[in-house]
Chains A and B, each alone.
Chain A
Amino acid sequence: MPNNQDNLIKELVGTYGRERTSLLPILQGVISQKNFISDFDMTEIAKELDISAAQVYGTATFYSFLDTAARGKYVIRICKTITCDMHGRKEIIQTIENMLKIKVGETTQNKIFTLLETNCLGWCHKGPAMLINDQPYSELTPEKVHEIIAEYMNNNRR
Chain B
Amino acid sequence: MSELIQRVDLIFGEYSDQKYKVLEEALKRPNDDIIKDLLDSGLKGRGGAGFPTALKWKFTAEVPSDEKYVVCNADEGEPGTFKDREILSRVPRKVFSGMAICGKVIGSNKGLIYLRGEYKFMLPELLKELDTYHEHAKKLNHNFTIEIRLGSGAYICGEESALFESMEGKRGEPRNKPPYPTTSGFMGKPTVINNVETFVNVLMICRIGPVQFRKLGTTDSRGSKVFSVSGDTPKPGIYELELGMPLFQFVDEFGDGDTKAVQVGGASGFCVPRKKFKDTIIGFEGVPTGGSMMIFNSSRSMYNVLHNYLDFFEEESCGQCTPCRVGCQQLRKGIEAVKRGEKPVLYLEQLMKLAETMKITAKCGLGQSVANSFSSIVSNFKEEMIY
Contact assessment for A127 and B169 in the assembled complex, using a CB-CB cutoff below 8 Å: no
Smallest distance from the beta carbon of B164 to chain A beta carbons, Å? 11
Shortest distance between the CB of A82 and any CB in chain B (Å): 4
Contact yes or no, A136 B118, CB < 8 A: yes
Q: Which residues of B contact A126 (CB under 8 A)?
A: 236
Which A residues lie at the B interface, using CB under 8 A? Answer: 19-25, 27-28, 31, 58-59, 62-66, 80-83, 85-86, 118-127, 131, 134-136
> How many angstroms between the C-alpha atoms of A85 and B311 in the bound complex?
13
Tell me whether A124 and B238 are in contact in the complex, defined as CB-CB below 8 angstroms, given that A62-B154, A63-B153, A136-B121 are known contacts: no
Q: Are A59 and B121 in contact (CB under 8 A)?
A: no
Hey, which chain A residues are within 8 Å of B117, CB to CB?
28, 63, 65
Give CA–CA (A83, B82) in the complex, Å: 12
Question: Cβ of A19 and Cβ of B169 under 8 Å apart?
Answer: yes
* A154-B231 Cα distance, complex, nearest whole Å: 34
Bound together, the chains give a CA A127 to CA B80 distance in angstroms of 11
Pull 24 A–B residue pairs with CB atoms less than 8 Å apart, ordered by A.
A23-B169, A23-B170, A28-B152, A58-B171, A63-B117, A63-B151, A63-B152, A63-B154, A65-B152, A81-B312, A83-B79, A85-B304, A86-B300, A119-B79, A119-B315, A122-B82, A122-B116, A122-B119, A124-B82, A125-B230, A125-B236, A127-B230, A134-B121, A136-B118
Smallest beta-carbon distance B363→chain A, Å: 16
Assess whether A125 is in contact with B229, with CB atoms less than 8 Å apart: yes
The answer to whether A82 and B168 have CB atoms under 8 Å apart is no
In the complex, A129→B167 CA distance in Å? 28
Q: Are A135 and B121 in contact (CB under 8 A)?
A: yes
Q: Contact at A119–B172, with CB atoms within 8 Å? A: no
Residues of B near any A CB (own CB < 8 A): 76-82, 85, 116-121, 149-155, 166-173, 187, 228-232, 236-238, 294, 300, 304-305, 308-309, 311-312, 315-316, 318
Give the 6 A-B CB pairs with smallest separation, nearest first.
Answer: A23-B169, A65-B153, A125-B236, A124-B230, A63-B152, A64-B153
In the assembled complex, the CB of B226 is this many whole angstroms from the nearest CB of chain A, namely 12
A20-B169, A24-B149 given; A120·B232 CB < 8 A: no
Residues of B within 8 A of A125 (CB): 82, 228-230, 236-238
Give the complex CA separation of A31 and B117 in angstroms.
12
Assembled-state Cα–Cα distance A31/B189 (Å): 30
A28→B145 CA distance, assembly (Å): 23
